[in-house]
């Protein structure tokens, strides 16, 4: 199909919405992945979206990506479409839930290329099919720069008596082991490669960039954790140190992390041999899960799930309520950066 060379101001709002809806295509595949108790009644094309749900509770989350703040110039629009949905899916996964319906608010400059908007929605639709999420509606507005906000709803896991079962940040207990999924730091390494010149083997560079552009949060792990009886989790979006710090603060505990246990990929070590551990501890945007619970339960969970799960430390009854990172000799490591803060940090996300 020939690319659309027009600007969105030439196409107009309603014609643009129609084209974006075409890119979403038939979403029956995503609908089929959802439980029978949840179904869409009205989607794109009416004043509001309507869906039925048999769940006694709902999970809701929202996130915004702003051009120049959350992503650098030149990022493929289809990758950004994927990521805008995936980072919200990560929040639902961290609650032990199942993502269902998304509403998309898209703000575009008048000179924005129609083809770029379509590419964005192609990536969004691909993520929807992957995660079983239906894009049920949203809004398109004019703005000085590209901004996208995704609002996502999901359903929690439910106990036999109908009680919602949730993973929460305040559910850690002294003596709990701390575990993380996947590999940490790859996304931060990928961002470095996107924004600066780094000597790195091509295959490793491609995988690191993909980790940043196309995160794949482990939804199944969140659900399995709830089923295993765990009740504490957080997604690693702002960096391990900062996100574990939230668990410490809300649970009224400290944490000890053994830096030599951090799951750091060989590709990250090859690209950043002197910074790999620091990137894993504070790089951010991994969109993996951090879980706390009895070590035996976490070990059993590790054997059940496909995603790698690594025990990296333990929760301890100590003040201040923060994580401490220790080297192989038990000495505390001072991190140059604790993680991302929207108002303290400058430059790119």
DSSP H helices in the chain: 8-11, 13-24, 28-33, 77-94, 114-131, 186-195, 202-213, 219-227, 240-251, 266-271, 276-282, 295-304
**Whole-number pLDDT of residue 29:** 61
Return d(Cα 153, Cα 168) in angstroms, integer.
17
Give the model's pLDDT for residue 19.
Answer: 79
Residue 198 CA, distance from chain mean position: 25
The DSSP output letter for 334 is P
Phi/psi of residue 316, nearest 5 degrees:
-135, 150
3-state secondary structure of 256: strand
- Strand 164-165 to 288-293 pairing: unpaired
**What's the pLDDT at 347?**
47
Q: Tokens for 197, please give them.
A: 């010149």
Collect the ranges in the chain with pLDDT lower than 50. 36, 340-344, 346-347
Average pLDDT, whole number, for the chain?
89
Express each pLDDT in 57-68 by its tens digit: 999 999 999 998
Strand 177-181 versus strand 309-316 pairing type: antiparallel
Question: What domains are there in the chain, each with its CATH number?
Answer: 8-165 (3.30.1330.10), 177-326 (3.90.650.10)
311: β partners: 179
- H-helix or E-strand spanning residue 234: strand 232-236
Distance CA 212, CA 25 (A): 26
Instruction: Give residue-wise pLDDT tens across range 181-238.
Output: 999 999 999 999 988 877 888 888 999 999 999 999 999 999 999 999 999 999 999 9
pLDDT in tens, 278-311: 999 999 999 999 999 999 999 999 999 999 999 9
């Amino acid at each position: 199909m020939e690319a659309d060379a027009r600007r969105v101001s030439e196409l107009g709002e309603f014609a643009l919405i129609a084209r974006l809806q075409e890119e979403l295509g038939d979403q029956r595949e995503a609908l089929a992945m959802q439980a029978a108790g949840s179904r869409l009644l009205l989607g794109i094309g009416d004043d509001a979206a309507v869906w039925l749900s048999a769940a006694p509770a709902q999970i809701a989350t929202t996130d915004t990506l702003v051009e120049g703040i959350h992503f650098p110039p030149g990022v493929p629009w289809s990758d950004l479409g994927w990521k805008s949905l995936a980072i919200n899916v990560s929040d639902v996964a961290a609650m032990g839930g199942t993502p269902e319906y998304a509403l998309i608010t898209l703000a575009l400059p008048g000179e924005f290329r129609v083809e770029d908007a379509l590419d964005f929605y192609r990536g969004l639709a691909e993520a929807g099919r992957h995660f079983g999420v239906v894009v049920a509606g949203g809004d398109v507005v004019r703005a000085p720069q590209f901004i996208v906000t995704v609002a996502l709803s999901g359903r929690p896991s439910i106990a036999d008596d109908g009680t919602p079962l949730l993973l929460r940040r305040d559910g850690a207990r002294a003596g709990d082991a701390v575990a993380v999924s996947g590999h940490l730091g790859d996304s931060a390494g990928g961002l470095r490669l996107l924004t600066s010149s780094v000597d790195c083997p091509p295959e490793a560079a491609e995988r690191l960039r993909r980790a940043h552009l196309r995160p794949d949060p482990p939804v199944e792990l969140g659900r399995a954790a709830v089923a295993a009886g765990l009740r504490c989790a957080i997604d690693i979006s702002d960096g391990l140190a900062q996100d574990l710090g939230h668990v410490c603060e809300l649970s009224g505990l400290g944490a000890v992390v053994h830096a030599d246990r951090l799951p750091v990929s060989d590709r990250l070590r090859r690209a950043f041999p002197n910074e790999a551990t620091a990137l894993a501890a504070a790089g951010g945007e991994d969109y993996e899960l951090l879980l706390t619970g009895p070590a035996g339960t976490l070990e059993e969970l590790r054997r059940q799930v496909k995603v790698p799960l690594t025990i990296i430390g333990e929760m301890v009854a100590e003040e201040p309520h923060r994580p401490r990172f220790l080297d192989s000799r038990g000495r505390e490591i001072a991190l140059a950066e604790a993680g991302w803060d929207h108002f303290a940090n400058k430059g790119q996300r």
